[in-house]
C-alpha cells in the first residue's frame, strides 16, 4: 500500500492507500461503503470533503474514495491515485440511467466500453477516435463473480456524458439506437487515464433510473440500495 505524502487534492497524512480502490461519486457513499463492507477502516482523505478510507475486505486491503461528478472531477482523483499513490485497480461504482427499456431499476450494468460526448480525449492528440475500454481482467472477473453469485448483469457499451440537463431531448434515443446500455458521467475519463498508465479500470453500476420508462429510485435509496453492485465489485480486489 502507498503512503505518499500528498497532492493538491489528496492528503493521507500517513494513512495507507490500497492498490485496489473503489470510486463512488458521492463521498458520503464512500463512507457508507467503508462502514458497511470493510474492516479495520482508517480515513486517508478529507480535502474538500472528498472522503477517502482504507480497510480490508476478507483480509485484502481496499480503499474507497469519492470522486465527484463528471469527467473533470474523476479525472483529477483517478490521475492522482494512479500516478502518485500507485493504485493498480480502480473501480468506479455508482448509479447509471438505463437507456434500454428492458433494463429494470436496481439491475447491474458493467461498462465494457464507454462512449462519450466529451472532448476529454483531445489531450492525447491521437490521429483518430479513441475508444475507452475497461480492463479485460476486471471485466472477466466481475462477469465470473456474477455467474458464481447467480446474478444477471448487463455488459456492454455505456455513455459518459458531459451534460446532465441536455437541451437536445432526442440525444438519449439516438445513443440507445446504437445499443448503448446506459448513461453516466465519468467512466470514459477513468478508462483513458488507466489505459495511459497501464493499470486496470472498470465501471460497475446500479440502475437508478430508466430514462425510457421515466422511472427512478429516490435520493435516499441511492445512498444505500447498491449492495448487489458492491458484492460484485469487492471480490475484484482479490484477483
Q: Where are the domains of the chain?
A: 20-238
- Per residue in 84-128, pLDDT (tens digit) is 999 999 999 999 999 999 999 999 999 999 999 999 999 999 999
The average pLDDT across 70-91 equals: 98
122 is catalytic: no
Which of these is catalytic: 26, 107, 200, 209? Answer: 209
Sign of the alpha-carbon dihedral angle for 96, 28, 162, 196: negative
**Helical residues (DSSP H) of 13-159, grouped into ranges:** 27-37, 71-83, 136-149
Q: Which helix (H) or strand (E) holds 42?
A: strand 39-45
- Alpha carbon 117 to chain centroid, angstroms: 18
Length of the chain measured in residues = 239
For the chain, state the CA radius of gyration: 17
Confidence of residue 19 (pLDDT cuts 50, 70, 90): very high
The average pLDDT across 42-52 equals: 98
Residue 1 pLDDT > 80, yes or no? Answer: no
Confidence of residue 219 (pLDDT cuts 50, 70, 90): confident
Whole-number percent of the chain with pLDDT over 70: 98
Angle ∠(85,131,198) on CA atoms, nearest 5:
30
CATH architecture of 20-238: 3-Layer(aba) Sandwich (3.40)
Indicate the pTM of the whole model. Answer: 0.96
Angle ∠(200,62,109) on CA atoms, nearest 5:
55
Amino acid at each position: 500500500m502507498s503512503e505518499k505524502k500528498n497532492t493538491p487534492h489528496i492528503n493521507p497524512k500517513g494513512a495507507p492507500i490500497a492498490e485496489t480502490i473503489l470510486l463512488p461519486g458521492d463521498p458520503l457513499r464512500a463512507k457508507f461503503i467503508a462502514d458497511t463492507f470493510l474492516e479495520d477502516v482508517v480515513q486517508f482523505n478529507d480535502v474538500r470533503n472528498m472522503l477517502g478510507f482504507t480497510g480490508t475486505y476478507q483480509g485484502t486491503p481496499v480503499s474507497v474514495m469519492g470522486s465527484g461528478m463528471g469527467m473533470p472531477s474523476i479525472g483529477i482523483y483517478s490521475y492522482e491515485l494512479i500516478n502518485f499513490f500507485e493504485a493498480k485497480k480502480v473501480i468506479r461504482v455508482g448509479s447509471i440511467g438505463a437507456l434500454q427499456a428492458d433494463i429494470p431499476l436496481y439491475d447491474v450494468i458493467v461498462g465494457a466500453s464507454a462512449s462519450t460526448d466529451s472532448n476529454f480525449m483531445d489531450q492525447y492528440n491521437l490521429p483518430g477516435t479513441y475508444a475507452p475500454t475497461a480492463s479485460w481482467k476486471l471485466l472477466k472477473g466481475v462477469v465470473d463473480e456474477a455467474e458464481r453469485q447467480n446474478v444477471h448483469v448487463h455488459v456492454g457499451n455505456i455513455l459518459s456524458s458531459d451534460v446532465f440537463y441536455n437541451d437536445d431531448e432526442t440525444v438519449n434515443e439516438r445513443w440507445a439506437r446504437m445499443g448503448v446500455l446506459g448513461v453516466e458521467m465519468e467512466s470514459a475519463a477513468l478508462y483513458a487515464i488507466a489505459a495511459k498508465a497501464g493499470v486496470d479500470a472498470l465501471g460497475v453500476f446500479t440502475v437508478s433510473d430508466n430514462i425510457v420508462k421515466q422511472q427512478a429510485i429516490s435520493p435516499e435509496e441511492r445512498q444505500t440500495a447498491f449492495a448487489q453492485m458492491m458484492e460484485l465489485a469487492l471480490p475484484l480486489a482479490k484477483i
